[in-house]
Chains A and B, each alone.
Chain A
Amino acid sequence: MSTSAKLKREMPQRYRMEAGKCTTCGYIAFPPRSICPECQAREFDTVILPDEGTILTHTVIRVAPSQFTDEAPYAIAIIELGEGARVLCQLVDCDLEQIAIGDPVKIEFRRIQAEGKSGVLFYGYKAVPA
């Protein structure tokens, strides 16, 4: 379920991968947070996550939720982007049988899904083999 307000609110993360970096301990918060879970400090600098990383773990979704049934099967991975920052996203333009932990990937801006009722398109980040 999404509204135009929600769509606009999430643009900094989905379009630009804006994160918060704790000015005290360096913890990277993606999405940004009000308080650091590592040191409880409340000051963050706005940073953009690096667009290169490695696969920590992965899966291939064969039975998909309703918004994604047309795309199945597709790969999902958890990716380490450096300085401890991690994201979960789809891994595309790859051989589904050849994905391995430790593989280098690059983040790209892609279409993620179309909202069922309104047909509104959602964009965001996906990973591709580097």
Chain B
Amino acid sequence: MRKVAIIGIGMNKWGELWDTSLRELYTEAALAAMDDAGVARVDSMYIGCMSSGLFTGQEHLSSLMADYTGMAGTPATRVESACNSGGVALRQGFIEVASGMSDLVLVGGVEKMTDVDGGMATYALATAADQDYESFHGVTFPGLYAMIANAHMARYGTTREQLAMVAVKNHHNGSMNARAQYPFEITVEGVLDSVRVADPLRILDCSPITDGAAAVILCPLEKAKEYSDKAVVEIVGSGHATDTIALHSRKDLSWLGATYTAAQRAYAMAGCKPEDIDLAEVHDCFTIAEICVTEALGFFDKGDGGPAVERGDTAITGKIPVNSSGGLKSKGHPVGATGVAQIVELTEQLRGESGKRQVKNARRGLAQNMGGSGGSTTVHILEVK
């Protein structure tokens, strides 16, 4: 296997972008990444996208996006793994470069979510759950994570306030990120007073509906300096795992098994341990998710994810900064783009280009992207050379 570097990143501001179409979102991010890398064409392209069909009526993104990035003729592959589509797209691009099949690969993620109303968006997202044995009964994604939260709170004593602190921390980080959809501070009281969505979760525990895209350019590590004079960031570990699609089929309802397994695989490939990670971008689709993920990644013991937030361990200045970007909560969550945007944030941090939210001495970062209620996860570990 060849070593793989990230030589370009691209991402515009996220939000409810009524003037920007699906193809424009993707193309803007892709061209920004190509400009950052200093390349005009690539050998191959992956597009992470969960549900352009339900959100916009458009499928066949391989052809559309190769066409609109000016590269019709180039091999392109659309990747779907619910909210983990971007993470799996990155892994496919990594495998293609590592294998020697291609030198320059563009990995983009995109979701255009605001062309439909809230009810339709909720329906589209719920297709990531088991349609016949979960969604059929009227459960929503907030509902599934709410049940994880209740199980975690009952088992470990995790508090309602600790959940809120995840959102407060991520909004604080996002307030320093010009690309974030909601770049403002919130308070614990504000979270606890916000509208109830699925008990015990409230609207400020939930990531928003977002239009957005992100893209990165990969190439063999040995050729990175031919393209770019920026600090070289290498993908040193890639782990991928699945779990049962239905939450109720899992033995432990307060544990994210696929995240644990994907992380173990990524740590093994990278030859490092949780304590060697300097910062992480994780899938905080709901506040409880960040708490469970930080436990499954091995940053904290089982049940210590809530107290860890309260201690400030996951703040930018803490022991292991989590979601310096603002996370899905503040930055936004255009589902197919999220996994790629995590790589954009880590690359920027490792290059030392993150300005006010820069994590000090960031040498090694971890990204965790997750689909559904935890039914699929990718973990990638990046190192600056």
Q: Which residues of A come within 8 Å of B, CB atoms?
A: 10, 13, 30-31, 37, 56-69, 71, 74, 76-78, 86-90, 101, 112-113, 122, 124
Contact = CB atoms under 8 A, between A and B. Distances in A.
Contact of A87 (B122, B133, B195): B133
Chain B facing A: main interface SS: helix
Contact of B197 (A13, A37, A56, A62): A62
B135 A78 contact: no
A65 B123 contact: yes
Given A57-B147, A57-B148, A61-B143, 20 more contacts: A10-B132, A30-B133, A56-B253, A57-B151, A58-B147, A59-B199, A60-B196, A61-B138, A61-B140, A61-B198, A62-B196, A62-B198, A62-B199, A63-B198, A64-B138, A68-B138, A87-B248, A88-B248, A101-B150, A112-B136
A37 to B, nearest CB: 8
5 contacts: A61-B138, A61-B140, A61-B143, A78-B253, A88-B248
B151 A56 contact: yes
Interface in B116-172: 119-120, 122-123, 126, 132-140, 142-143, 146-148, 150-151, 154
B138 A74 contact: yes
Contact of B138 (A30, A56, A86, A90): A90
Given A64-B140, A76-B139, A89-B137, A69 B119 contact: yes
Contact of B247 (A66, A71, A88): A88
B297 interface: no
A61 B196 CA distance: 9
Contacts of B196: 60, 62
A64 B138 CA distance: 7
A42 to B, nearest CB: 19
